[in-house]
Chains A and B, each alone.
Chain A
Amino acid sequence: MRTTLTKVSQLSLLAAALWAASAAAHHGWNWTEQQQTEMSGEITEIYIGPPHPRLMINTPDGAWQVDLGNPRQTRDAGFVEGEAAVGDTVLVRGHRSAKTDERIIKAVRATINGKVYTFYPQLLRED
């Protein structure tokens, strides 16, 4: 009985460790590069809604996914349905995934048609 219980708790620990190790993408910033990068591309897809608003863009460097703020931050930044359309050019400033094979950038700010949407004003760094 004791050993079964020990095995169960070992399994749960393993599961928790796996979960913690995997918790490295999308939520928070610990999965991204430290420095901010700018990239420009043509919007191919727009998703505004939970759990996470995002854009898909086509850049000279290939396709990238742009994670915006959470739904509320995105709305507060002024980026709502109708603000942009597929085909528009966007200039993104944000943090790229630290994994070079993962083509995701988490936007701090996006500029579309001359309009600036700042999702994380406190994180914005000017060069």
Chain B
Amino acid sequence: MLANSLISLSELALINLIRQSALAYPALSALHILGIALLLGNILLLDLRLLGVLRQSALSDLFKLFSRLAGVGLLLAIGSGVLLFSVQPLQYVSNQAFLLKMLLLALALLNLLIVHLSQAWRQACSGGPVSNSLKLTAASSLLLWLTILVAGRWIAFV
């Protein structure tokens, strides 16, 4: 059932085009990396400032900007990632590094949801103090996104 829908996914005209083109796959990989760069670059600054590792107060005015740019990066990474996945979905669903990455990604998205629904985040964005709970979610965000990066790179090596 799942296998069948994955096979149909890989047989879509668009996906066949990506598979046959010499340029599409490397270009999608580059977009995926651009998304990751935007996501992690902004997340690192945001989380390290929330944790107090970075102390420049000017960074506190940029929380919303970091968050939005990270969001753009996330969407770019997910969009390109879905297409890269579709080129050979059956291979990926049996790749343990990929499965680990998806599990960690689900946790990171849950963490993101918790942050954005919290009072503590709104408070920090409007110049208020950073609560301990927000520091905790910043630490898990940092840890999750970095391990997702490693798990993602690992896919090609298992």
Chain A interface residues (CB < 8 Å from chain B)? 1, 4-5, 8, 11-12, 15, 18-19, 22-27, 47, 49-51, 71-72
Whether A15 and B22, one on each chain, are in contact in the complex, defined by CB atoms closer than 8 angstroms, is no
CB of B10 to closest CB in A, whole Å: 10
Whether B51 and A50, one on each chain, are in contact in the complex, defined by CB atoms closer than 8 angstroms, is no
B interface, size bucket? 20 to 34
* Cβ-neighbour of A71 out of B22, B51, B156 (below 8 A): B22
Whether B158 and A11, one on each chain, are in contact in the complex, defined by CB atoms closer than 8 angstroms, is no
18 extra A-B contacts, CB within 8 A, seeds A11-B146, A71-B22: A1-B55, A4-B51, A4-B53, A5-B53, A8-B48, A8-B53, A18-B150, A19-B153, A19-B154, A22-B157, A25-B157, A26-B157, A27-B156, A49-B88, A51-B87, A51-B156, A71-B25, A72-B22
Q: What are 22 inter-chain pairs, A to B, with CB distance below 8 A?
A: A5-B53, A8-B48, A11-B143, A15-B146, A15-B147, A15-B150, A18-B150, A19-B150, A22-B157, A24-B157, A25-B157, A25-B158, A27-B157, A47-B88, A49-B19, A49-B25, A49-B87, A50-B25, A50-B26, A51-B87, A51-B156, A71-B22
